[in-house]
Amino acid sequence: MDVLDLTRLQFAVVTIYHYFFVPMSISLAATAAGLQVAWLRTGRERYRDLTRFVGKLLIVTFAVGVVTGLVQEFQFGMGWSAFARFYGDVFGPTLAIEGMLAFFLEATFLALWYFGWDRLPRALHAATIVIVAVGTVLSAFIILAANSFMQNPVAYSLDPVTGRARLDDFGALLFNEVNLAAFPHTLAGAAMAGGSLLLGIGVWRQRHGGEPAHRTLARLGAWLTVAGGALTALTGDHLGKVITEVQPMKMAAAEALYATTTGAPFSLFAVGSPGGGEPSFSIEIPRLLSILAAGSPGAEVQGIDDLQAQYAAQYGPGSYIPMIPVAFWSFRLMIGIGMLAAALAAFYLWSTRKGRPGHPLLPRVLPLVPILPAAANSFGWIFTETARQPWLAFGISRVADGISPGLTRAEVAASLIGFAVVYGILAAVWLRLIRHLSRQPLAPRAAPVEAAQPPAPVY
Amino acid sequence: MITAWFSLVVLCWVLFFVLEGFDFGVGMLGPVLGRDDHERGAAVRTIGPFWDGNEVWLVAAVGVTFAAFPAWYAALLSGLYLPMAALLLLLAARGVALEFRGKGDGARWRRRCDTALALSSAGIVALWGAVLGVLTHGLALGADGEVTGRGPARSLAPLATWPALAGAVLALFAAVLLGATFLALRTTGPVHARARRASVRLGAGGTLALGAAGMLGLSRPVLAAAVLCLGVTLVARHGRELVAFGATAVGVAGAVVAVFTVHGDVVLRSTLDPAWSLTMTGAAATAPALRLLSVAGAVVLPGVLVYQAFSYWVFRRRVASERVPS
C-alpha cells in the first residue's frame, strides 16, 4: 500500500470506530432525557432507575466518543494538510462552531447531570440532560453539514488569488439539500443503534434473573429500533433521490448499473463481478431502481459508462468510477442488516405483547442484536464515502490532492498501528463496562450513612 | 480582525493549559497524595465534574486555529505528525481511565485506572510542553509552508531539541504545582494536608531552581517565574489556598501567552529562512470566514463562560475522602 492508501485506510478506521459510539450517544442521551421527564411527570420509580442506568451507559459511551472524536479534529491537519489549507475556510468555521456551540453544551451539562443528582433542584436537573440531548443532535446537524459539503459543494466560491475555497453563506452550507436529507436519516439510524443496545441488555438481563424494569427497558429499546427502522427506510428513500440528482455516479455504483436504463431493476444479489462488466447472475426486482432513484417506475437512470464519459469531458481525462464492488455490497448490506434488526425487534414486540413470555429463541438471539445497527451504520458511511471517490469535495478537489506532502508510509503505519491497538483496548474495556453496569441492580442500594461532615467552606 | 482572532486562539490555548493543567496535575498527584482507595477517589472526584469541560477548550483551541488560521493548523499538525498521534493516544487513554474509574468493580480496577491516569497525564503534559518549546524555536518550514524533510525523523527531530526538553520539564512542574494548589483548595482531611505541604515544597523548590536558572541565563521571564513561585510558596504557607491556586494559574497563563507572542506577528517561525515563516496575516482565513466566526463567537462564547462558571459554582463544596462511596 502506498502512503495515500494507508492514510485513507487510517481515516476510514478511526472514523468508522468513532461512529460506533456516536449514534449510541445520540439516542441514549435522548432516551435518558425522555425517561427522566417521564419520571418527573409520573413519579414512578421505575423511570428514575432506568434514567440512572441509561445515563451510566451514556457516560461510558460518550467518553469513548469524545476521545475518538478528538482524533477526527486533529487528523485533517495531520494527514490531510493540503486539504485543510484548501478547504479550511469552509470546514474550519464549521468545526469550530460545532465545538463552541454543541460540544461545549454536551460535555459541561453531562457532567452537571451526572454529578448533580443531589445538588440541583429536580426540574433543573432534568433540564441538564435535556440540554445534553439537544447538544448531541445539534452536533450531528453541524458535522453532517460539513460532510454534505463534500458530497454536494454549495455556498462557496474559489478565491482567484489563493486558489482556495471561500465560504460565501454559512446558512446555505447548513441547509444544503443533502444535509436536510442525510440528517434525519442519520438520526433514525442512531435511534436504532441505541434502541437495540437497550433491547439487547433488557432481554439478556431478563434471562438471568433481572427485574421487572428490565422488561420495560427491552420493550422501550424494541420500540426505538422498530420506529428507527421505519424512519431509516423512509428517510433513506428520500436521501437516495437527492443523491441521484447531485451525485448520479454514486447511485449508479450502488447498483453497478453500467448502461443508462429506463425502468431500471434493482438487484438483491449478484454473482459474477460487479465492477468487471455486467454480473453473470442476479436476482432482480423489475423497475425498483427507477422508483428508488427517481420516484417513478419508468424513469431513466444514468449508467456508469455514460457518467464516466460525461465527467471526463467536464473535468479532464481520468477515471471517475468508484470501487464498484464496495459500493454495490455496502449499499445492500446497509439496507439488509438494518432491516433485519428492525424485523427482529418487531418480532420481539409481537411475541411479548400483553405480558407474554415471548418466543424461546429470542433471549438467545437478541443480546447480539446491537451489532446489527452498528454494522448497518458503518456500511452506510462506507458507501457514502467510498462511492464519492475519486473526489474529496465532489467536483472540486480529489483525494490524491489532499494529503500532507511530507508524509511517509512509516509514519502513517506507526500511527495506524497505535490507533488500532488503543482502539482495540478501548472496545474491550467498553464492552466489559457495559456488561458490568448491566449486571448491577437497577434500584440504588440504600444510601450509606454519611460520616459527620465539617461545614462546607465557601471560597 | 486578524489580531483579534489571534488573541482568541491564544485565549483558548491559555484556558486549555490552565484548566486542563490542574486536572493533569491532579491526575499525576492522585496516586502520590492519596494513600488509600478512598483518598485517591477523593482526589479524582475533585476533577470529575470538570475535566471534560476543561478538555473542550482543547477542542475549541484546535477548532478555532483551524478556522481562523488554516495554514498554521496544517503546518503544525502535519509537521509534528508523530508527536500529535502520540498525544491523541494518550488523551484517549486518559479520558477513558477517568470516566471508567468509578464504573468498574473493585479496588484493583480503580488502582489500574489511577495508574493509567497518572502515566497518561504525565505523558500528555510533557508532550504539550515540548510542543510549546518547539513553538518558541520554530520548525523547518519550507517555502510552501510545510515542514521540509521526509520520514519519521522529520516530525520527531523537533522534539529532540533543548527548547522542547525545557518545555517538557517546565510544563510537568507547572502542572504538578497547579494540581497541588487545586487539591489543597478542593479537599479536606489528610489529602488536603498533604496537598498543602506539596504546594509549599514545590513552590520553594521551583523558586530555587528557577532563580538559579534565571541568574545563570539572565533571562527575565525565568526570574519573574521564580518570583511567582516564591509568592505561591508564601501564600500557600499561610493557608490562602485560592490565592495560591490563582497565582499559579496566572503564571501558567503568562507563560503560554509569552510562548505564542515571542516572535511578534510570526505564528510559526521557519528555522530555514525567516522569509518562509508563517505570519498571522499569511496564515489567516479569508475575511468572510473570520466575520462568520466573530458573529458565532460573540453569541456563543459568553454563554459558554457563564455555564462553565455555573458548573464550578454547583460543585464548589470541598470533597472529603469519607464522602466518596467505595
The one-letter amino acid code at A17 reads Y
The one-letter amino acid code at A51 reads T
Residues in chain A with CB shorter than 8 Å from the CB of B317 are 456
Residue in this structure with the C-alpha cell 485517591, named with its chain if needed:
B40
Cβ–Cβ of B152/A111 closer than 8 Å?
Answer: no
Q: Please answer whether residues B132 and B169 qualify as being in contact, where contact means their C-beta atoms are separated by less than 8 angstroms.
A: no
Q: Which domains does chain B have, with CATH numbers?
A: 1-140+148-320 (1.20.1630)
Angle of helix A177-207 relative to helix A324-351, nearest 10 degrees? 50
Cβ–Cβ of B85/A415 closer than 8 Å?
Answer: yes
Q: pLDDT by residue (tens digit) across A308-359?
A: 999 999 988 888 889 888 998 999 999 999 999 999 999 999 998 888 888 8
Across the interface, of B84, B304, B314, the residue whose CB is closest to A120 is B314
| pLDDT confidence tier of residue A179, bands split at 50, 70 and 90 | very high
Closest-CA distance, A144 to chain B, in angstroms, reads 16
Residue A261 phi/psi, 5-degree rounding, is -130, 140
Cβ–Cβ of A418/B89 closer than 8 Å?
Answer: yes
Give the torsion sign (CA, B47, A429, A344, A26). Answer: positive
Cβ–Cβ of A74/B67 closer than 8 Å?
Answer: no
Cβ–Cβ of B70/A92 closer than 8 Å?
Answer: yes
Residues in chain A with CB shorter than 8 Å from the CB of B316 are 458-459
Highest mean pLDDT (candidates A254-258, A373-377, A399-403) = A373-377
- Indicate the SS3 state at residue A204: helix
Average pLDDT over residues A208-219: 88
From residue A202, how far is each of A199, A209, A213, A363, A442 by CA, in Å? 5, 11, 8, 10, 11
Among A56-65, A194-203, B167-176, B248-257, which is the least confidently predicted range? B248-257
- Rounded CA separation B54/A313 (Å): 52
pLDDT, position B143 = 81
ipTM over 0.95: no
Residues in chain A: 459
- Rounded CA separation A20/A8 (Å): 18
| H, E, C per residue of A346-361 | HHHHHHCHHHCCCCCC
Residue A236 phi/psi, 5-degree rounding, is -65, -40
Burial of A157 (0-12, 13-18, 19+ CB in 10 A): exposed
- Rounded CA separation A419/A425 (Å): 10
pLDDT-above-70 percentage for chain B: 98
Residues in chain A with CB shorter than 8 Å from the CB of B59 are 70, 73, 99, 103
Q: pLDDT by residue (tens digit) across B292-303?
A: 888 888 888 888
Which stretch of DSSP H or E encloses residue B172? helix B162-186
Judge whether residue A452 has pLDDT over 50: no
Q: Could you tell me the end-to-end alpha-carbon distance of chain B, in angstroms, rounded to an integer?
A: 52
User: Which residues of chain B, if any, have pLDDT below 50?
Assistant: 323-326
Cβ–Cβ of B317/A456 closer than 8 Å?
Answer: yes
pLDDT, position A417 = 94
Q: pLDDT by residue (tens digit) across A221-244?
A: 999 999 999 999 999 999 998 998
pLDDT, position A281 = 66
